[in-house]
């Protein structure tokens, strides 16, 4: 960045830095600083009875406010757990006649600077738990001003920075000035840990599978394509990890799972990001009915672990994650919300029904996509409380086992919450001949122009031919689930660094 592009504040901060450096003060010292306490822990534990144990504390944080009283400064610093006040007196920080540190570091302090402080804890006349500083160390000089967030006397923000362009693009600053953002991501980690513990306690094995794949399998989606220079062949970023996890079931593992970073070269909106996290797990000798029971238990536990209750606030609604959940077939759902019984319709009849209901359709759409469009447009948004939509037509589910008692259907469910799909599960197809035919049907759709149709994965077919036991599998959208459990309206709010258009820095 050139001098002409720097703001007045940025220029002033650089001048302060130069004066410090000229006086031999290192504004970016060696990283070791012996932190012993954190703001929130001090505030929670400090009393008159415990004050002796806080007679020598060492903490560090970012300057968030400065109250200059001349020879005394009241400074509030923010560490990873909260904000606490420092009482800084010139004649104690600089006890001798040399006041250069005060004049070059303390008086010119800027919001955003990092300080290390050693001292003791006390309570001010106004009752605020504070640190009486005995030694101050400048740990890092901030050269760019943070956006100002106004706060009342109790420290509550009332003029927060809400511009999503700034918040998503400069998440590092967003985390500093909007403390509630950090809470969302702490809950995200609680969610993932809760699920991981649930699976581990029941015998699940966490595994890793390839992100770079020669065949983008396991889902109907448009992949990102790249090129492997050494092999001189195209590769794809994975759209799903399903087929690799099933290979491990073939190999003899009974229960495998993976938190998978997936990539789909599709649109972006409040519930879609091109890069997203999915949990998939596969369990031998189980079916989709067992998987529904297990899903209810997993999500009930996750809600309790994240929020301490199974009642979850999502927007203006309160939704219960407590088991059991409603179950309804996709055909019954469509009939309930459109009045049309589509269970025995052929492709042309489905296309005509879509047109009658003013649902856009394309010539490339086969029977499965037409049924999907009907459900997505007319039914999905009605399912607010957790609901299993079950028993899909075979054309919608190329990797799913045929229904044991209902011809033309497969043993599949999708879990809907707040009108959105959160999970998708099957009794997995383990018949290699049937699977080959389903893949070939997908190729026909691809030839009709469906750019989301599945490729044929011949190695996966070979694996099935060795024999895969009866298996149930599921995929959870972790980002969407996190949105719900943290009451966030957009997927960008639960991703540290959502996809953004590149900035124009020219």
- If asked whether residues 201 and 128 sit together in one domain, one would say no
For 427-440, what is the mean pLDDT? 91
pLDDT at 148: 76
165 annotated as ligand-binding? no
Average of per-residue pLDDT values in the chain? 93
- If asked whether residues 197 and 89 sit together in one domain, one would say no
173: in domain = no
176: in domain = no
Give percent of the chain with pLDDT exceeding 70: 96
pLDDT at 192: 98
pTM: 0.89
490: in domain = yes
- pLDDT tier for residue 1 given thresholds of 50, 70 and 90: very low
Q: Hunting for tokens 């672990």 — which residue is that?
A: 305
- Between the alpha carbon of residue 250 and those of residues 176, 218, 246, 316, 431, the distances in Å are 48, 16, 6, 46, 12
For residues 23, 28, 31 and 37, what is the CA-based torsion angle, rounded to 10 degrees? Answer: 90
CA–CA dist 426, 474 (Å, integer): 7
249: in domain = yes
Last residue in a domain, options 127, 146, 165: 146
pLDDT at 159: 56
Q: Which residues contact 6 (CB under 8 A, 6 or more apart)?
A: 14
Last residue in a domain, options 120, 146, 172: 146
421 annotated as ligand-binding? yes
- If asked whether residues 119 and 256 sit together in one domain, one would say no
CA–CA dist 299, 264 (Å, integer): 26
- If asked whether residues 207 and 69 sit together in one domain, one would say no
- Is the pLDDT at 455 greater than 90, yes or no? no
- If asked whether residues 397 and 252 sit together in one domain, one would say yes
pLDDT in tens, 316-359: 999 999 999 999 999 999 999 999 999 999 999 999 999 999 99
CA–CA dist 131, 143 (Å, integer): 26
3-class secondary structure per residue, 316-343: CEEEECCCCCEEEEHHHHHHHHHCCCCC
pLDDT in tens, 121-146: 999 999 999 999 999 999 999 999 99
Q: Which residues contact 477 (CB under 8 A, 6 or more apart)?
A: 276, 277, 278, 421, 422, 423
- Going 54 to 59 to 65 to 68, the CA torsion angle's sign is positive
E strands in 9-70: 57-68
43: domain CATH number?
A: 2.40.50.140
CA–CA dist 141, 104 (Å, integer): 12
- If asked whether residues 187 and 106 sit together in one domain, one would say no
Q: Hunting for tokens 């949105």 — which residue is that?
A: 483
Q: Hunting for tokens 């448009």 — which residue is that?
A: 222
Give percent of the chain with pLDDT exceeding 90: 82
How is residue 281 annotated by DSSP? E
For 49-55, what is the mean pLDDT? 96
Angle, to 10 degrees, between the axis of helix 367-378 and the axis of helix 330-338? 50
pLDDT at 316: 95
- If asked whether residues 101 and 8 sit together in one domain, one would say yes
- Is the pLDDT at 205 greater than 90, yes or no? yes
96: in domain = yes
Query: Residue 90 sits in which domain range?
Result: 3-146
- Is the pLDDT at 362 greater than 70, yes or no? yes
Last residue in a domain, options 146, 164, 190: 146
Phi, psi of 357 (to 5 degrees): -95, 10
pLDDT at 155: 57
- If asked whether residues 277 and 130 sit together in one domain, one would say no
- If asked whether residues 259 and 400 sit together in one domain, one would say yes
For residue 118, give the nearest of 105, 134, 102 by alpha carbon: 134
- Is the pLDDT at 276 greater than 50, yes or no? yes
Instruction: Count Cα neighbours of 1 within 13 Å in the Cβ-side half-sphere.
Output: 9
Helix locations, 23-82, DSSP H? 39-45
Count CB-CB contacts under 10 A for residue 191: 23
- Is the pLDDT at 265 greater than 60, yes or no? yes
393: domain CATH number?
A: 3.30.930.10
481: in domain = yes
pLDDT in tens, 172-194: 999 999 988 999 999 999 999 99
Range of lowest pLDDT (156-160, 234-238, 314-318, 372-376): 156-160
- If asked whether residues 64 and 108 sit together in one domain, one would say yes
DSSP labels for 157-188?
Answer: BSS----HHHHHHTHHHHHHH-HHHHHHHHHH
- If asked whether residues 301 and 203 sit together in one domain, one would say yes
- Between the alpha carbon of residue 279 and those of residues 3, 208, 391, the distances in Å are 48, 12, 22
pLDDT in tens, 460-480: 999 999 999 999 999 999 999
CA–CA dist 322, 340 (Å, integer): 32
**The total number of structural domains that make up the chain:** 2
153: in domain = no
- pLDDT tier for residue 4 given thresholds of 50, 70 and 90: low
CA–CA dist 172, 357 (Å, integer): 46
- pLDDT tier for residue 154 given thresholds of 50, 70 and 90: low
Q: How far apart are the first and last CA of the chain?
A: 11
12: in domain = yes
- If asked whether residues 96 and 21 sit together in one domain, one would say yes
For 306-313, what is the mean pLDDT? 98
- Is the pLDDT at 62 greater than 50, yes or no? yes
């Amino acid at each position: 960045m050139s001098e002409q592009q720097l703001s007045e504040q940025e220029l002033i901060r650089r001048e302060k830095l130069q004066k410090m450096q000229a006086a031999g003060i290192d504004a970016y010292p060696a990283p070791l600083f012996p932190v012993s306490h954190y703001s929130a822990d001090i505030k929670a534990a400090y009393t008159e009875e415990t004050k002796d144990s806080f007679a020598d504390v060492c903490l560090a944080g970012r300057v968030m406010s400065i109250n200059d009283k001349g020879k005394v400064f009241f400074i509030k610093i923010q560490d990873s757990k909260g904000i606490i006040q420092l009482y800084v007196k010139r004649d104690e920080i600089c006890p001798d006649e040399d006041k250069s540190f005060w004049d070059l570091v303390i008086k010119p302090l800027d919001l955003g600077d990092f300080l290390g402080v050693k001292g003791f804890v006390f309570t001010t006349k106004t009752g605020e738990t504070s640190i009486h500083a005995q030694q101050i160390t400048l740990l890092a000089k901030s050269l760019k001003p943070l956006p100002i967030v106004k706060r009342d006397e109790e420290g509550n923000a009332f003029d927060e920075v809400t511009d999503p362009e700034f918040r998503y693009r400069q998440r590092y600053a967003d985390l500093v000035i909007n403390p509630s953002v950090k809470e969302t991501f702490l809950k995200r980690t609680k969610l993932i840990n809760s699920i991981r513990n649930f699976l581990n306690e029941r015998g699940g094995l966490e595994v890793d599978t390839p992100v770079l794949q020669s065949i983008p399998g396991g889902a109907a989606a448009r992949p990102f394509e790249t090129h492997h220079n050494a092999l001189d062949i195209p590769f794809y970023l994975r759209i799903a990890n399903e087929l690799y996890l099933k290979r491990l079931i073939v190999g003899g593992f009974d229960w495998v799972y993976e938190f998978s970073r997936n990539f789909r070269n599709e649109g972006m909106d409040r519930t879609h990001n091109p890069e997203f996290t999915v949990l998939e797990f596969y369990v031998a000798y189980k079916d989709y009915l067992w998987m529904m029971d297990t899903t209810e238990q997993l999500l009930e536990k996750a809600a309790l672990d994240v929020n301490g209750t199974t009642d979850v606030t999502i927007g203006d609604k309160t939704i219960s994650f407590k088991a059991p959940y409603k179950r309804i077939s996709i055909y019954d759902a469509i009939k309930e919300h459109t009045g049309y019984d589509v269970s025995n319709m052929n492709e042309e009849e489905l296309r005509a029904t879509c047109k009658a209901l003013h649902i856009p359709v394309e010539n490339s759409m086969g029977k499965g996509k037409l049924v999907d469009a009907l459900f997505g447009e007319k039914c999905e948004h009605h399912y607010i409380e957790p609901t299993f939509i079950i028993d899909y037509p075979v054309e919608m589910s190329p990797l799913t086992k045929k229904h044991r008692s209902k011809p033309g259907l497969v043993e599949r469910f999708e879990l809907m919450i707040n009108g959105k799909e959160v999970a998708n599960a099957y009794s997995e197809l383990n018949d290699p001949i049937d699977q080959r035919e389903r893949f070939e049907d997908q190729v026909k759709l691809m030839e009709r122009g469906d750019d989301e149709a599945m490729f044929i994965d011949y190695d996966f077919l070979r694996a099935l031919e060795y024999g895969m036991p009866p298996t149930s599998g599921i995929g959870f959208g972790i980002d969407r689930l996190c949105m719900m459990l943290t009451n966030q309206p957009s997927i960008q709010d639960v991703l540290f660094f959502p996809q953004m258009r590149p900035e124009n820095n020219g």
